[in-house]
């Protein structure tokens, strides 16, 4: 094989092809760099956890398995919650967001407010996504948002909540058997929505007891219920003791929780936002982020941590006091690991299902709480315990780190596609793109012309029309006449020039032509024609 | 290459998929996928252009106005179908399709052969090349098309027409000015009988006079006279100005016909003919006789094109050393736009050459393409007449050749001054 | 050399227009296009011809002319002076159910188009006369009776009066316009609904590219309108009771487990549309080529045999390509399952589980994306499998055996 010489390479580089190739390579490199930069903001490698599909101690497989065992369909969203808009029966759907681990990429968008163009998107989810989730709740869907220091802020804002983003240390309810990161959230009655509402246990079908006989309505008259009869409330049935748990309170175990901002989680019945779970008074938010508990005077002192109590579990209902079972609900808890296997499934931890785990969490009500809310959303509260065949629980996996780069790429591709087919701004751009593409094709893409032999002899008709006028002038005619006279008489130019006028007149011997030769005046067309005729006949005489 | 249809189908397919997603409309998505699938499936059968083409012409050289028969034999030597293949033989646009078509759509199976036959008429003299063969292959549904060509060319020369002028030359006064192949009273290779002599070894058998041998019993051979060959010089004016008129009727075009006819006539008489064509420069073919020279002259005349403005005197000066003494010189020129015409011809005539000027009337050729006012036309004609008269005055034989007059007719009218 | 070049031959078969019209390949193409057009229309009416169950009984802009005609009829019956539509129901299909609603109008349209096509083969003079006759009759039918009675009325009453708003009902001659107008309205409604078929048939048999384009255009407009009117975003504003296509696909149970029952008719419609389009245009394209050939080429056996070659291969490919496009699309729409299986092999179970359960796959996004990937894969397969060579080899082999 011939080795290209340096001069050959140089020649190629300076050639048109070479330049084009270099320009193309640079263009694609830049494009690739740009794309990888954008994609890089989305695909960031970190620890994989809080996935409903992971089997690790910090994943939520046990929760998902429980739901599946109850006969509910579980689904995932791997691209974007924009898909919630496609859900046909939101009333039978629960959307679970556990830990929003990464931000989103999106286009600037138009908004109705004064800023018109909104360049900075909300945290975690894009505005369109937040709108989709909010609309889902409006249409009767239930969402569960479990997050601590992640990107749930944008979504929480939509519901009037503010995540503080700092870790909470509770000096009273931390679990001494584990460590200070584990905090108990004790709720006496999970259905006591506001100070004026009283206990609203009837809103949950598992503990709804209209006649207050200690038996839930849907089990009225049933002594030992079957699994089918228990519906989605089987977790409250103790089959060994044949006892049904009617406790409306929960002792939730949290791991490294955060809390809501004090100003933004207050009880406000007008917003239908009900803070239900609070930390104790001796709880502190690590507002200075030093990883330590710094006690100051009422938390107002500079550099000290803020003191509780803080709301940590807030429930939002579309209907006042969650009275309408078909209306949408949203559950916000300031701990992303509330339902992780290690806390949710203490038995499983003990039996080593989730591998070596050096701590054994105490028995808690996290499972009961979670399954209660699933029952509240998906089971009818009319005493029949009926479940819609469309009932499903959707886990948002779009904001979770995937176990492989390929998985992340797959999700990103879906995200882009779904974003461009659901977000108005992106759709507009795409329409524009498609329009331009079609225009381009219609204008630029031309089929080759059909071949056809055309017989064409190039017409090079040639003539100097400018001289025609010149040849019509009297002087030119005069000159031609004289040349003719000279030729006929076989005179040289010199001889002819030296000829006296009388001799010339003799030679011509035509009074009209003689007059024409000697008289210098303007001639009419008719006169010129007459003269020409005479000249023509003159030579023949 | 994707056709417009394929591009629209592809873009439409993708758009339908996307818009279908936007509107959650299944039909659009299925349409979109089906469109793209249609493209994908068809991309398997795009065809190919690896074919063998052989072109056969009925003649390599022909005279202006003759018909040329062309045959293309197209074979698909590969194992694949060509799919829809368009074959187009690139024919010079100066040629007219008389019958058949230089184009065919085929779909050749493996090893299949087909033929395209057509007839061309060549109304213009010149050097031409037929080919290459353009090929365009596409699939049945016109989604992908590719163009290529087979670089197979056939060259041909279209000579100017040769008119029969023998009778005119005999009847007119012009040819009598020189004698053509005159017989010299010296023996040599020739055509006419000179004398009888005894056979000497080395004489070819074919010159033995068998009758004399029978009569005398001695080997006697015929001796022939050596043909004295006259050199005839033909000067053709191919200056830019000689294109006045139409493509088919202009001084140069009729001039080439005249030159070819004269050359043919003289070469047939075994005279030597020299050809000088002057345009922006002078091309000179030295005097010679025979078929080879005839071919050279015709070929040279086939290629002349109007250009430049070389004065006649420069031509005669350049050739002065090459002109044979007293040889006749034919000048075929419209005599327009050249102030040196008169001195050049005066010189030629002065040196003892018989100068015959065949002058196509450019004013009348010009009339074919432009409306010359009557007065101007008459004046132009008068001026031309003056010029011709002046030339005749120097002893040149001048023929004023009108466009609608046949060459043989024109040769009969020698204008004297 | 000159002797080597033969002149063009003349065979028994030629490429003259009259011969082409009877050529079996051309007829096969035209019939294929016609059948696919009819089937497509029937398929479309099955898919898009029904209203939402909630709004059943009332009118909706579904692709069903009987809905509009029935509504019009009901409206006319309710008038103080009850009227009825001139074209009888057995002809329009009103009152029938299922495909029975369309057969009769389609039959009548076919007859009319056949007549029109035969007329197109006649001389220009006759064509013009017939056209003028039809137009004249239509005008006369519309206004003839009205004008005559009005004029006679004015003559007999010996007064000039307007033909409407008169107290004497006998003088309201304008009522004579109602009958013809109703007929024209009825015809207009039928033409509107059957535009793809009418225009398509005229295009196929009258060899008009623009009419075929009209047929395609009107089909796409119907589909687009349906898509738009049944789009959730529009439905929330204007509810027209259209039966929307399902958003989620069920299990693949048709076509041997390849396709979901919701997709099968949609895919068939798109395939039929393509067959109609390609066959219709191809007929015109080929006939146009042959028509433009010079007389000597039309008789040349080489041109004839190559023309046959082109047509035969086109017919073969129409069958083959349609089959493969159907198969590839069906496989492509099924490809998401394969992707999940592939993913579960190459990736850990967590991701494949969540992909398998993902809403994206259920909501067509995944299906369509994987379908597109599959189609691209199929397109790329040509670089791996030398299909043209294989088919060429088979063709060569068959020819050798035959010889």
A172 and A278 fall within a common domain: yes
Mean pLDDT of B396-401: 91
Of A149-153, B29-33, B394-398, C107-111, give the range with the top mean pLDDT.
C107-111
Residue A314 lies in a domain: yes
Chain B, residues 137-156, CB within 8 A of chain A, namely 145, 147
A382 and A244 fall within a common domain: yes
Closest by alpha carbon to B308, among B347, B338, B339?
Answer: B338
A421 and A346 fall within a common domain: yes
Q: Domain count of chain B?
A: 4
Q: Binning pLDDT at 50, 70 and 90, where does residue A78 land?
A: confident
Distances (CA, A) of C74 to A413, A426, A524, C184, C240: 54, 47, 92, 18, 19
Residue A134 lies in a domain: yes
pLDDT at A257 over 50: yes
**Nearest residue of C to residue A410 by CA position?**
C355
Q: CB contact, 8 Å: A489 with chain B?
A: no
Chain A, residues 405-424, CB within 8 A of chain B, namely 417-418, 420-422
Residue B204 lies in a domain: yes
**Nearest residue of C to residue A405 by CA position?**
C347
- Cβ distance B417 to A461 less than 8 Å, yes or no, reads no
DSSP H or E run through A231: none
Q: Binning pLDDT at 50, 70 and 90, where does residue A499 land?
A: confident
A503 and A409 fall within a common domain: no
Q: Binning pLDDT at 50, 70 and 90, where does residue A42 land?
A: low
Nearest CB partner across the interface for A75, out of C247, C350, C358: C358
Cα gap B404→C10, rounded to integer Å: 41
Q: Binning pLDDT at 50, 70 and 90, where does residue B71 land?
A: very high
Residue B417 lies in a domain: no
* The predicted structure's pLDDT at residue B56: 93
B80 and B9 fall within a common domain: no
Radius of gyration of chain A, Cα coordinates, nearest whole angstrom? 48
Cα gap A417→C370, rounded to integer Å: 12
Pairing of strands A237-238, B154-159: unpaired
Nearest CB partner across the interface for C313, out of B38, B48, B81: B81
For the record, the structure tokens of A219 come out as 């089990």
Cα gap B396→B211, rounded to integer Å: 50
- Cβ distance C354 to A53 less than 8 Å, yes or no, reads yes
A521 and A428 fall within a common domain: no
- How far is C-alpha A173 from the chain's CA centre? 42
pLDDT in tens, A373-426: 999 889 887 777 788 888 999 999 888 877 677 777 778 888 888 888 888 888
* B9 contacts C277 by C-beta, under 8 angstroms: no
Spatial CB neighbours of B262, under 8 Å, sequence gap ≥ 6:
B165, B232, B234, B273, B330
Range of the domain at B208: 184-228
Cα gap A14→A11, rounded to integer Å: 5
- Cβ distance B91 to A453 less than 8 Å, yes or no, reads yes
Cα gap C245→C228, rounded to integer Å: 11
Q: Binning pLDDT at 50, 70 and 90, where does residue B181 land?
A: very low
Cα gap A354→A450, rounded to integer Å: 72
Cα gap B411→B403, rounded to integer Å: 13
Which of A96-100, A119-123, B366-370, C263-267 shows the lowest mean pLDDT across its residues?
A: A119-123
A381 and A485 fall within a common domain: no
Closest by alpha carbon to A153, among A125, A113, A119?
Answer: A125
* The predicted structure's pLDDT at residue A114: 53
B320 and B273 fall within a common domain: yes
B153 and B192 fall within a common domain: no
Contacts of C262 in chain B (CB under 8 A): 26
Mean pLDDT of B266-282: 91
Which of A73-82, A506-515, C158-167 shows the lowest mean pLDDT across its residues?
A: C158-167
B331 and B397 fall within a common domain: yes
- For Cα atoms B66, B68, B69, give the angle at the middle one, nearest 5 degrees: 145
* The predicted structure's pLDDT at residue B183: 46
Chain B, residues 288-347, CB within 8 A of chain A, namely none
Query: Which of C262, C335, C368 to mutate against chain B (most B CBs within 10 Å)?
Result: C368
Residue B20 lies in a domain: yes
Collapsing DSSP states into helix, strand and coil, what is residue A146? strand
Contacts of A52 in chain C (CB under 8 A): 354
Nearest CB partner across the interface for B44, out of C230, C273, C382: C382
* The predicted structure's pLDDT at residue A188: 87
Query: Which of C220, C278, C303 to mutate against chain B (most B CBs within 10 Å)?
Result: C303
* The predicted structure's pLDDT at residue B114: 94
**Nearest residue of C to residue B16 by CA position?**
C224
Residue B393 lies in a domain: yes
Residue B124 lies in a domain: yes
Cα gap A122→A151, rounded to integer Å: 9
Q: Domain count of chain A?
A: 2
Q: CB contact, 8 Å: B110 with chain C?
A: yes
pLDDT at A41 over 80: no
From B96's Cα to the closest Cα of chain A, the distance in A is 5
Q: Binning pLDDT at 50, 70 and 90, where does residue B185 land?
A: very low
Residue B61 lies in a domain: yes
B244 and B299 fall within a common domain: yes
* The predicted structure's pLDDT at residue B354: 87
pLDDT in tens, B86-133: 999 999 999 999 999 999 999 998 889 999 999 999 999 999 999 899
B197 and B176 fall within a common domain: no
CATH number for the domain including B135?
A: 2.60.40.10
> What are chain A's partners, defined as 3 or more CB pairs within 8 angstroms?
B, C
- For Cα atoms A252, A256, A258, give the angle at the middle one, nearest 5 degrees: 85
B215 and B320 fall within a common domain: no
pLDDT in tens, A288-300: 777 777 776 554 5
The verdict on whether omega for the bond into residue B264 sits within 30 degrees of 0, i.e. cis, is: no
Mean pLDDT of A75-80: 88
* A156 contacts A145 by C-beta, under 8 angstroms: yes
pLDDT at A436 over 70: yes
Residue B101 lies in a domain: yes
Contacts of A418 in chain C (CB under 8 A): 360, 365
pLDDT at B158 over 80: yes
Nearest CB partner across the interface for A78, out of C346, C349, C358: C358
For the record, the structure tokens of B319 come out as 């050739």
Domain boundary among A389, A410, A434: A434
A517 and A391 fall within a common domain: no
For the record, the structure tokens of A33 come out as 């760099």
- Each residue's pLDDT tens digit in chain C (403 positions)? 445 677 888 888 888 888 998 899 999 999 999 999 999 999 999 888 888 766 556 788 888 888 888 888 888 888 877 788 888 888 888 888 888 889 999 999 999 999 998 888 888 999 999 999 999 998 888 888 788 888 888 888 877 777 777 777 777 777 778 888 888 899 999 999 999 999 999 999 999 999 999 999 999 898 888 888 888 777 778 777 787 777 666 777 788 777 888 888 889 999 999 999 999 999 999 999 999 999 999 999 999 999 999 999 999 999 999 999 999 988 888 887 777 777 666 555 677 777 778 888 777 777 787 888 888 888 888 888 888 788 888 877 887 887 7
B272 and B392 fall within a common domain: yes
Of A91-100, A155-164, A298-307, C363-372, give the range with the top mean pLDDT.
A91-100
Range of the domain at A56: 48-434
B106 and B136 fall within a common domain: yes
pLDDT at B327 over 80: yes
* The predicted structure's pLDDT at residue C1: 46
B16 and B121 fall within a common domain: no
* The predicted structure's pLDDT at residue B180: 47
Give the alpha-carbon dihedral of C139, C140, C146, C150, to 10 degrees: 120
B376 and B265 fall within a common domain: yes
A386 and A479 fall within a common domain: no
- Cβ distance B4 to A445 less than 8 Å, yes or no, reads yes
Mean pLDDT of B210-229: 76
Mean pLDDT of A239-243: 85
* A209 contacts A246 by C-beta, under 8 angstroms: yes
Cα gap B330→B195, rounded to integer Å: 36
DSSP state of B372: -
For the record, the structure tokens of A388 come out as 């819609």
B241 and B371 fall within a common domain: yes
CATH number for the domain including B251?
A: 3.40.50.410
Domain boundary among A412, A434, A456: A434
**Nearest residue of B to residue A471 by CA position?**
B376
Q: CB contact, 8 Å: C345 with chain A?
A: no
pLDDT at A146 over 60: yes
By CB atoms closer than 10 A (0-12, 13-18, 19+), residue A328 is buried
């Amino acid at each position: 094989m011939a080795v290209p010489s340096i001069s050959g390479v140089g020649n190629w580089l300076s050639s048109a092809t070479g330049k084009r190739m270099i320009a193309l390579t640079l263009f694609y490199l830049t494009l690739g760099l740009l794309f990888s930069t954008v994609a890089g903001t989305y695909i960031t490698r970190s620890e994989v956890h809080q996935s409903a599909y992971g089997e690790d101690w910090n994943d939520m497989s046990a929760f998902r398995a429980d739901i599946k065992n109850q006969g509910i369909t579980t689904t995932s969203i791997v691209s974007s919650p924009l898909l919630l808009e496609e859900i046909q029966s939101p009333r039978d759907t629960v959307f679970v967001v556990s830990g929003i681990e990464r931000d989103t990429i999106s286009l600037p968008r138009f908004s109705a407010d004064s800023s018109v163009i909104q360049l900075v998107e909300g945290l975690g989810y894009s505005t369109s996504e937040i709108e989709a989730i909010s609309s889902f709740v409006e249409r009767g869907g239930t969402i569960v948002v479990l997050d601590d220091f992640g990107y749930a802020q944008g979504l929480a804002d939509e519901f009037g909540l503010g995540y503080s983003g700092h870790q909470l240390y509770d000096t009273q309810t931390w679990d001494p058997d584990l460590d200070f990161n584990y905090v108990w959230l004790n709720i006496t009655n999970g259905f006591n929505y506001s100070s004026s509402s009283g206990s609203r246990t009837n809103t949950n079908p598992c503990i709804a007891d209209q006649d207050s006989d200690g038996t839930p309505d849907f089990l009225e008259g049933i002594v030992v219920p079957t699994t089918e009869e228990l519906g989605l409330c089987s977790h409250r049935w103790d089959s060994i003791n044949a006892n049904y748990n009617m406790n409306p309170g929960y002792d939730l175990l949290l791991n490294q929780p955060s809390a809501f901002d004090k100003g933004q989680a207050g009880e406000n019945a007008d917003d239908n936002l009900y803070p239900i779970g609070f930390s104790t008074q001796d709880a502190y938010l690590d507002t200075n982020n030093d990883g330590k508990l710094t006690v100051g005077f009422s938390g107002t002192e500079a550099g000290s941590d803020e003191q509780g109590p803080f709301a940590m579990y807030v429930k939002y209902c579309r209907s006042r006091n969650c009275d309408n079972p078909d209306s949408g609900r949203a559950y916000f808890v300031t701990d992303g690991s509330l339902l992780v296997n290690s806390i949710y499934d203490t038995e499983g931890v003990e039996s080593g299902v989730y591998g070596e785990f050096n701590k054994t969490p105490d028995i808690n009500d996290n499972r009961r709480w979670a399954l209660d809310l699933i029952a509240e959303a998906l089971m009818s509260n009319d005493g029949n315990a009926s479940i819609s065949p469309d009932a499903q629980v959707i886990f948002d996996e779009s904001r979770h780190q995937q176990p492989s780069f390929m998985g992340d790429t797959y999700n990103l591709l879906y995200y882009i596609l779904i974003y461009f087919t659901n977000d108005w701004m992106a759709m507009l751009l795409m329409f524009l793109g498609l329009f331009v593409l079609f225009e381009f094709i219609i204008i630029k893409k031309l089929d080759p012309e059909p071949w056809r032999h055309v017989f064409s002899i190039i017409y090079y008709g040639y003539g100097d029309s400018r001289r025609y006028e010149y040849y019509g002038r009297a002087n030119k005619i005069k000159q031609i006449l004289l040349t003719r006279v000279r030729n006929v008489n076989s005179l040289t130019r010199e001889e002819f020039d030296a000829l006296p006028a009388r001799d010339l007149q003799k030679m011509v011997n035509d009074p009209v032509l003689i007059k024409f030769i000697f008289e210098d005046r303007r001639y009419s067309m008719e006169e010129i024609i007459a003269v020409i005729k005479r000249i023509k006949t003159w030579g023949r005489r | 290459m994707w056709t417009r249809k394929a591009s629209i189908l592809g873009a439409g397919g993708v758009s339908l998929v996307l818009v279908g997603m936007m509107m959650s409309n299944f039909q659009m998505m299925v349409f979109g996928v089906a469109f793209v699938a249609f493209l994908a499936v068809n991309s398997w059968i795009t065809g190919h252009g690896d074919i063998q083409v052989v072109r056969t012409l009925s003649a390599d050289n022909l005279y202006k106005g003759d018909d040329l028969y062309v045959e293309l034999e197209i074979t698909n030597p590969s194992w694949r179908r060509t799919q829809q293949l368009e074959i187009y033989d690139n024919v010079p646009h100066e040629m007219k399709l008389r019958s058949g078509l230089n184009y065919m759509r085929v779909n050749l199976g493996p090893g299949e052969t087909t033929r395209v036959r057509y007839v061309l008429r060549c109304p213009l003299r010149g050097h031409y090349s037929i080919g290459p063969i353009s090929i365009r292959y596409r699939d049945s549904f016109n989604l992908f098309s590719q163009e290529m060509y087979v670089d197979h060319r056939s060259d041909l020369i279209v000579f100017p027409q040769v008119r029969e002028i023998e009778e005119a030359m005999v009847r007119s006064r012009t040819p009598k000015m020189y004698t053509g192949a005159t017989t010299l009273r010296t023996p040599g290779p020739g055509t006419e009988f000179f004398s009888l002599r005894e056979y000497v070894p080395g004489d070819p058998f074919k010159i033995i006079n068998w009758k004399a041998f029978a009569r005398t019993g001695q080997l006697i051979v015929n001796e022939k006279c050596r043909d004295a060959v006259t050199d005839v010089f033909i000067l053709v004016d191919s200056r830019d100005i000689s294109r006045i008129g139409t493509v088919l009727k202009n001084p140069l075009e009729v001039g080439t016909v005249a030159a070819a006819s004269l050359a043919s006539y003289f070469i047939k008489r075994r005279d030597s003919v020299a050809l000088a064509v002057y345009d922006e420069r002078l091309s000179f073919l030295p005097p010679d006789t025979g078929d080879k020279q005839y071919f050279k002259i015709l070929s040279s005349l086939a290629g002349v094109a109007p250009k430049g403005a070389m004065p006649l005197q420069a031509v005669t000066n350049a050739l002065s050393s090459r002109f044979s003494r007293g040889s006749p010189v034919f000048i075929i020129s419209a005599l327009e736009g050249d102030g040196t015409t008169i001195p050049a011809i005066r010189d030629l005539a002065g040196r003892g050459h018989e100068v015959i000027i065949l002058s196509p009337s450019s004013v009348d050729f010009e009339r074919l393409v432009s409306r010359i006012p009557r007065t101007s036309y008459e004046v132009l004609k008068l001026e031309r007449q003056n010029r011709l008269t002046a030339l005749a005055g120097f002893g040149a034989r001048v023929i004023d050749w009108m466009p609608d007059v046949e060459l043989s007719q024109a040769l009969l009218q020698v204008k004297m001054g | 050399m000159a002797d080597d070049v033969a002149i063009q031959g003349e065979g028994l078969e030629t490429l003259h227009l009259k011969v082409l019209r009877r050529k079996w390949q051309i007829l096969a193409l035209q019939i294929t296009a016609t059948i696919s057009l009819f089937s497509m229309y029937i398929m479309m009416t099955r898919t898009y011809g029904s209203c939402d169950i909630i709004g059943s009984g009332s009118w909706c802009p579904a692709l069903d002319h009987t809905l509009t005609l029935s509504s019009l009829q009901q409206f006319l019956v309710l008038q103080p002076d009850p009227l009825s539509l001139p074209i009888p129901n057995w002809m329009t299909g009103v009152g029938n159910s299922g495909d029975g609603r369309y057969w009769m109008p389609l039959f009548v349209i076919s007859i009319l188009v056949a007549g029109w096509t035969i007329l197109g083969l006649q001389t220009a003079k006759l064509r013009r006369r017939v056209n003028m006759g039809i137009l004249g009759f239509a005008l006369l039918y519309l206004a003839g009776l009205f004008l005559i009675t009005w004029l006679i009325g004015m003559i007999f009453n010996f007064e000039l009066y307007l033909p409407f708003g008169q107290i004497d009902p006998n003088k309201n001659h304008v009522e004579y316009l109602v009958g013809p107008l109703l007929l024209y309205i009825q015809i207009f409604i039928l033409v509107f609904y059957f535009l793809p078929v009418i225009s398509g048939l005229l295009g196929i048999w009258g060899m008009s590219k623009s009419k075929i384009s009209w047929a395609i255009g009107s089909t796409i407009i119907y589909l687009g309108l349906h898509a738009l009117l049944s789009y959730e975003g529009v439905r929330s504003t204007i509810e027209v009771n259209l039966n929307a296509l399902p958003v989620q696909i069920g299990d693949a149970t048709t076509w041997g487990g390849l396709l979901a029952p919701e997709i099968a008719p949609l895919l068939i419609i798109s395939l039929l549309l393509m067959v109609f389009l390609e066959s219709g245009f191809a007929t015109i394209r080929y006939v146009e080529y042959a028509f433009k050939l010079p007389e000597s080429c039309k008789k040349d056996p080489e041109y004839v045999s190559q023309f046959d070659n082109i047509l035969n291969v086109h017919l073969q490919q129409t069958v083959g390509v349609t089959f493969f496009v159907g198969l590839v699309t069906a496989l492509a729409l099924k490809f998401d399952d394969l992707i999940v299986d592939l993913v579960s092999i190459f990736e850990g179970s967590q991701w494949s589980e969540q992909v398998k359960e993902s809403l994206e796959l259920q909501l067509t996004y995944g299906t369509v994306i994987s379908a597109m990937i599959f189609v691209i894969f199929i397109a790329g397969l040509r670089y791996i499998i030398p299909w043209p060579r294989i088919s060429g080899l088979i063709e060569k082999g068959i020819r050798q055996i035959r010889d």
